[in-house]
Chain A
Amino acid sequence: EMVMTQSPGTLSVSPGERVTLSCRASQGFSTNLAWFQQKPGQPPSLLVYDASARASGVPARFSGSGSGTDFTLTISSLQSEDFAVYYCQQYNNWPYTFGQGTKLEIK
Chain B
Amino acid sequence: QVQLHESGPGLVKPSETLSLTCTVSGASINSDYWGWVRQTAGEGLEWIGRFVPSGSAVYNPSLKTRVAMSRDTSKNQFSLKLNSVTASDTALYFCVRDLNIWGRGTMVTVSS
Contacts and interface: CB of A to CB of B under 8 A. Distances in A.
Interface of A: 1, 34, 42-46, 49, 55-56, 87, 89, 91, 94-101
Contact size range, B: 10 to 19
A91 B45 contact: no
Given A96-B47, A98-B44, A98-B46, A43 B100 contact: no
B25 to A, nearest CB: 16
A84 to B, nearest CB: 14
Please give me the 4 A-B residue pairs with the lowest Cβ-Cβ distance, nearest first: A43-B102, A98-B45, A95-B60, A46-B100
Interface of B: 44-47, 50, 58, 60-62, 94, 99-100, 102-105
Main SS class of interface, A = loop
Contacts of B105: 43
Contact of B99 (A46, A94, A99, A101): A46
Given A87-B44, A91-B99, 9 more contacts: A1-B61, A34-B99, A46-B100, A49-B100, A95-B61, A96-B47, A96-B50, A98-B45, A99-B44
